[in-house]
Amino acid sequence: MKSEIKDIGDVRIIRLAGKITIGAGDVHMRELVDRALAEGKKKILLDLEDVSTIDSSGIGEMVSCYTTVARNGGQLKLLRLSPKINDILQVTQLITVFDVFDDQQEAIASFS
């Protein structure tokens, strides 16, 4: 999995690309979120536009990141889901948990 990090104001945008699957991207995603928290970034946006595949471990890690950020007083939101990932979030009911945006500006503005 590849990643790109960008800060806009106090929002950390983590753009992920490739696979978020067991033993590979899932761990990398967690490390990026942990690093953001360690750097004091509590408003985190995961941009998933270029994620090709996600499995149950990747989804589980995303949920784990969400709860970790919330426990630390922050918010983790999702940006630009591919149709496949949107489908997975729908069937797992996790679409009711995550705030999801198609537009980056709108997503940034949504952080309180």
Is residue 17 a contact residue for another protein (CB under 8 A)? no
Is residue 66 a contact residue for another protein (CB under 8 A)? yes
Is residue 1 a contact residue for another protein (CB under 8 A)? no
Q: Based on CB atoms, which residue is closest to another protein, 66 or 101?
A: 66
Amino acid at 92: T
Query: Can you tell me which of 17, 18, 50, 53 binds another protein, judged by CB under 8 A?
Result: 53
Contact 71, 103 (CB under 8 A): no
Is residue 34 a contact residue for another protein (CB under 8 A)? no
**Strand spans (E) along the chain:** 2-8, 11-20, 43-54, 75-79, 100-101
Q: Based on CB atoms, which residue is closest to another protein, 89 or 108?
A: 89
Q: Which residues on neighbouring strands pair with residue 47, listed in sequence order?
A: 15, 79
**Strand spans (E) along 41-109:** 43-54, 75-79, 100-101
- Binding residues for another protein (CB under 8 A): 21-24, 53, 55-57, 59-61, 63-64, 66-67, 84, 87-88, 91-94, 96-97
